[in-house]
Chain A
Amino acid sequence: AQTVTQSQPEMSVQEAETVTLSCTYDTSESDYYLFWYKQPPSRQMILVIRQEAYKQQNATENRFSVNFQKAAKSFSLKISDSQLGDAAMYFCAYRSADSNYQLIWGAGTKLIIKP
């Protein structure tokens, strides 16, 4: 069975600095999808960025980018120019390429932004 591990329960960064959140996963599949979701205090999960395993190019969405290392089964999230609004829980998630569309979630990393 697939698992997702986020080894950093909490991270803090100075406003305007860059921070990297770690995520590793375990799978025997070659085709899958990876996601980073953000959960602010409002509790609503918001998709930040997504990556297809068969694409070598790392995904980028404005200030958010990933470092996808397929062989190492690593999928880290880099947030550049951190803003106060980035403070939230960040969850890494895995989706198999099969047909049931279910996501497997990590335990989350709490990101604190220091003004």
Chain B
Amino acid sequence: EAGVAQSPRYKIIEKRQSVAFWCNPISGHATLYWYQQILGQGPKLLIQFQNNGVVDDSQLPKDRFSAERLKGVDSTLKIQPAKLEDSAVYLCASGGGDPYNSPLHFGNGTRLTVT
């Protein structure tokens, strides 16, 4: 089966600019996650979708970050305006529901550098 697709692979922007990341999950996967992974740390959940509804966005900095999942398939994550501390890898993952019986599948991530 095709994996989770993410683009771009790398992005370099200046602070206060905006950026968007795209994720295409595995076909049929209802659950989609966006994680932020700062160098040397484990992933931090930003937002979780179930189909096209938000399950949890409690750790999403809503003053600058937004995410949507139209039609319950593809998803975009946007940062506007970016700050230096947003430099990180942004990982998208999808799952069939229960991460135990249907383990998460991850994309290769987008490495964002904010200068």
| Contact assessment for A44 and B56 in the assembled complex, using a CB-CB cutoff below 8 Å | no
Instruction: Assess whether B61 is interfacial by the CB under 8 Å rule.
Output: no
Query: Which residue from B97, B99, B106, B111 sits with its C-beta under 8 Å from A44?
Result: B106
The A/B interface has a contact count, at CB < 8 Å, of 59
Write out the residue numbers on chain A whose beta carbons fall within 8 Å of the beta carbon of B93. 45
Q: Distance in Å from the Cβ of B59 to the closest Cβ of chain A?
A: 10
Query: Chain B contact residues (Cβ within 8 angstroms of A): what range?
Result: 20 to 34
* Number of residues on chain A facing chain B (CB within 8 A): 23
| Contact assessment for A101 and B108 in the assembled complex, using a CB-CB cutoff below 8 Å | no
| Contact assessment for A43 and B91 in the assembled complex, using a CB-CB cutoff below 8 Å | yes
B17-25, B40-48, B76-84: which lies at the interface = B40-48
Binding site for A on B (CB under 8 A): 3, 31, 40-45, 48, 55-56, 89, 91, 93, 95, 97-100, 103-104, 106-109, 111
What are 5 A-B contacts with C-beta separation under 8 Å? A9-B40, A43-B109, A100-B48, A101-B98, A108-B41
